[in-house]
Structure 1
Amino acid sequence: MKLKCIAAAALVATGGAAYAQSSVTLYGAIDSGLLYQSTSAASFSPKAPNTGKVYAFKDCGIYASTWGLKGVEDIGGGYKINFKLQGVFNSGTGKLGLADAPGASAVFNQQTTVGVSGPFGTFDAGRQIVPMIYAMYDTDVRGAQYFGSILTAWLGMNQAAGWPGTSTNGPIGALYDDNALVYQSPKFYGASLALEYAPGGVAGQFQGGTRESAVLKYSNYGLNLAAVYYNGHDTNPGATTVPNGLNNNRFYYLGAMYTFHDFSVSTSYSIGKNPANSSHVNYELISAGLGYKFTPAFKVTSGFYYLKDRNNSANHSDEFAVGAEYSLSKSTLAYAQVGYVNNKGTMNQTIVYGQPVAPGVSTTAAMIGIRHSF
């Protein structure tokens, strides 16, 4: 009898394995470097005074230092259940990354998703990096890096719109969204579609705190194209503000990048505004990039980013950045980069993510560092 039970148990175990193969992976990256910046400020306020030069140990020169867990279970028929938990930490201090609530941090502040994938595409639910960010990455030679890229230029747009930098919830577009439902279609002749909806969960207000976005992408024959529409309600409200469904966040983006042999060139055009008060918040961003891969391990990229206030022509900025990257191994990357931004009026576009510059003046920044993935 015992032998029969053991045999039956073994059959169940092996049979289950045939239909439900699963795996869990621990992964992450540490990105650290040394930064010089010719001006600085204590905050992202357009009135913040210049506090002088900065020499500092700086986390995230290319991308954030992250760690996480991800897993997949094959449930048969071409379908899989996936989960991902990913958070940011500061490699210089060990502190965790910001959350959507002002001043708060979270262990997994980038992604906490569970979803399903199959022939229909993928569907993920939870806090996650929104589809528009991947579209910007795909159409920027600088790869939406944390130093002088379309990402830092877009963050400059948010700073000009009043983002204080104390949370990840910005007034124009979004880097992450809480409670997000995201569908990603399969590619069809190079074209794909991503749709996002994030319920606000506000009692008595169906649109209170909601977000929705759509991203159309094409990738084929070395050409990447992307079109983005993002719309939000009650974006970045004050701590005591009750969400009421106000439509105050809209972002449009058109981008393209073409790679031919070892050359890459990119351009984009975007508009960010507050539909409920466009006479106060209405910005335009234009970018261009050029890159060359000298060897499989060594490449140089450059980008130009022009940001202007459509309501006040005196407020505008020009940013230029160039960087060199060398792969020491499959897991380790060394980099050096330099950037310059000329801010006019109250504009305070930054060069480096999380490092304020003095508004209305020109600033130079340079950084060397290393990024190791595991």
Structure 2
Amino acid sequence: MKKALLAAALMSAGVIAHAQSSVTLYGRLDAGVAYMNGIGAGTGAQGQATHGSSQVQLESGYWGTSLWGMKGVEDIGGGNKVLFHLEGSFSTATGSLGSAGSIWNRWATIGMANDQFGTLLLGRMLFISNGIWDFDPFGQSNWSSASMVRGRNWPQSSNNISYQSPNWYGFDVYGQYAFSNATSWNGNGSTTQGREAGLQLTYTSSLFQIRGLYDEIRNPDNGTLGGAYNTLNGGNLAPGATQANGNGIFAYSRDYMAMFNLFLGAFKIQGGYEAIRSAGMSGQAIGQPTTLDHEWGGVTWQMTPAAALIAAVYHVNANNGGGNATLYTVGGSYNLSKRTLLDIQAATVQNSKSANFGLNANNFGVAAATGNPVPGHSQTGVYAGIQHSF
């Protein structure tokens, strides 16, 4: 009997050793003080928005999203692993969730990985357009590439299936496909998300890295690659309209990117081109674009292991009278420790006569609630903060 119990114990120990698992809890807290001017607010004698408002705010997530989450992995043998990933954003300024009623608004996935065949995940995740992050000098901070496309580059995606390949001689492939979960494949107004998909190819070497990326986000109302601009965003729908597609090309469109990183010792040079295209949009008022062309470039100087300086320029051209804008920005960070850094950034957006792009990735429009400047006016800001990771 004792021998049988000992054998059973040894067998159990073998199973436990074979199916090793681990769970990692992690997070990041980011907060600071931001000053910004040139906010369109109020109306003048002719009913036009006035210029000159400014504000000072305690902000969260300007240098990087405040978030918390957990990751888990179980080794089931044969080179196979089961994975899960849960992650949600929040505001350190107010303590509120990044998305009301959603704890895991960034990641909620389960899947499997194999060293030879890659990783397959199912669930909610950051949409593939976030792949610009690795090639943006400011890493998609609040004042960066996302500002010139009004947040088109940083959405999350539900109902998603993704695949990440292993590295093959410096190349790797990543793809996503997100279902609309509607009776119509592309979306028909019965769900909150239309069909979404994307593919990126990356080549990495010790000297440089290049990436090509394509994606599309479809309008959940009708499955098209475009949408109307609602009244709240300064557009042409009747007052009280409740269409979800109120941000036009900035919400539903095709996106093409070509990007590079160049590694030169203490310097990293980054740049790229992005073309955003809608389809089937008609009857747009002047100033409501249907195509965007976005270019950027910048350099990071790692002065010391702890201190870095960054400078970058972002430019966008919008058709249909949307004008063009250029964002100039400088900043840097200093690591107090492996987990804590101080950061600072100063930036200005210079708009052409008809453009009203702001420092923040605000929705289309000139209403005071958007925080955008009046068309043809500039906007300038300074931010300083602290970030801690755990």
Query: Which range moved further: 7-16 or 334-343?
Result: 7-16
| Pairwise CA distance, 1:13 | 3.0
Query: Residue 107 of structure 1 aligns with which residue?
Result: 103
Query: Residue 299 of structure 1 aligns with which residue?
Result: 308
Query: Residue 75 of structure 2 aligns with which residue?
Result: 74
2:177 equivalent among 190, 197, 204: 197
Query: Residue 117 of structure 1 aligns with which residue?
Result: 113
1:326 equivalent among 312, 322, 334: 334
* Structure 2 CA distance for aligned equivalents of residues 9 and 301 of structure 1: 61
Query: Residue 164 of structure 1 aligns with which residue?
Result: none
Query: Residue 134 of structure 2 aligns with which residue?
Result: 138
Structure possessing the higher radius of gyration over alpha carbons: 2
Query: Residue 210 of structure 1 aligns with which residue?
Result: 195
Cα RMSD between the aligned structures? 2.5
* Structure 2 CA distance for aligned equivalents of residues 153 and 16 of structure 1: 53
Change (3 A) 1:42 1:73: farther
| Pairwise CA distance, 1:48 | 6.5
* Structure 1 CA distance for aligned equivalents of residues 154 and 211 of structure 2: 16
| Pairwise CA distance, 1:345 | 4.0
| Pairwise CA distance, 1:308 | 1.4
1:305-344 matches, within 5 Å, as 305-312=314-321, 315-344=323-352
* Structure 2 CA distance for aligned equivalents of residues 259 and 274 of structure 1: 35
Task: Give the secondary structure class of the aligned counterpart of 2:62.
Answer: coil
- 1:15 partner amino acid: G
Change (3 A) 1:74 1:107: same
* Structure 2 CA distance for aligned equivalents of residues 4 and 358 of structure 1: 80
* Structure 1 CA distance for aligned equivalents of residues 373 and 244 of structure 2: 29
Change (3 A) 1:53 1:187: same
Query: Residue 224 of structure 1 aligns with which residue?
Result: 209
Q: TM-score normalized by structure 2?
A: 0.81
Task: Give the secondary structure class of the aligned counterpart of 2:259.
Answer: strand
2:148 equivalent among 137, 144, 153: 153
* Structure 1 CA distance for aligned equivalents of residues 340 and 113 of structure 2: 31
Query: Residue 186 of structure 1 aligns with which residue?
Result: 166
Change (3 A) 1:348 1:240: closer
Map Cα deviations across residues 101-135 of structure 1 (whole Å, 9 max, x no partner).
xxx4411110101111112111111110123312x
* Structure 1 CA distance for aligned equivalents of residues 134 and 165 of structure 2: 16
- 1:93 partner amino acid: T
- 1:282 partner amino acid: T
Q: Are the equivalent residues in 1 in contact too, given 2:31–2:60 (CA < 8 A)?
A: yes
Task: Give the secondary structure class of the aligned counterpart of 1:138.
Answer: helix
Query: Residue 10 of structure 2 aligns with which residue?
Result: 11
Change (3 A) 1:277 1:240: closer
- 2:200 partner amino acid: V
Map Cα deviations across residues 316-371 of structure 1 (whole Å, 9 max, x no partner).
11101111101111100111110111123453323245683323211111011110
* Structure 2 CA distance for aligned equivalents of residues 95 and 194 of structure 1: 32
Change (3 A) 1:14 1:349: farther
- 1:215 partner amino acid: Q
1:128 and 2:108 equivalent?
no
Query: Residue 282 of structure 1 aligns with which residue?
Result: 291
- 1:322 partner amino acid: V
- 1:19 partner amino acid: H
1:270 equivalent among 267, 274, 286: 274
Map Cα deviations across residues 295-325 of structure 1 (whole Å, 9 max, x no partner).
111110111011111232x611110111110
| Pairwise CA distance, 1:12 | 3.8
| Pairwise CA distance, 1:42 | 7.2
* Structure 2 CA distance for aligned equivalents of residues 362 and 265 of structure 1: 27
Percent of residue pairs identical: 29
Q: Are the equivalent residues in 1 in contact too, given 2:37–2:52 (CA < 8 A)?
A: no
Change (3 A) 1:227 1:344: same
Task: Give the secondary structure class of the aligned counterpart of 1:18.
Answer: helix
| Pairwise CA distance, 1:6 | 4.6
- 2:302 partner amino acid: K
Task: Give the secondary structure class of the aligned counterpart of 2:53.
Answer: coil
| Pairwise CA distance, 1:62 | 1.2
- 2:33 partner amino acid: L
Task: Give the secondary structure class of the aligned counterpart of 1:95.
Answer: coil
Q: Are the equivalent residues in 2 in contact too, given 1:141–1:257 (CA < 8 A)?
A: no
Map Cα deviations across residues 192-232 of structure 1 (whole Å, 9 max, x no partner).
111111111111x1222211111111111231111111123
Task: Give the secondary structure class of the aligned counterpart of 1:359.
Answer: coil
Change (3 A) 1:241 1:41: closer
| Pairwise CA distance, 1:139 | 1.7
* Structure 1 CA distance for aligned equivalents of residues 41 and 102 of structure 2: 23
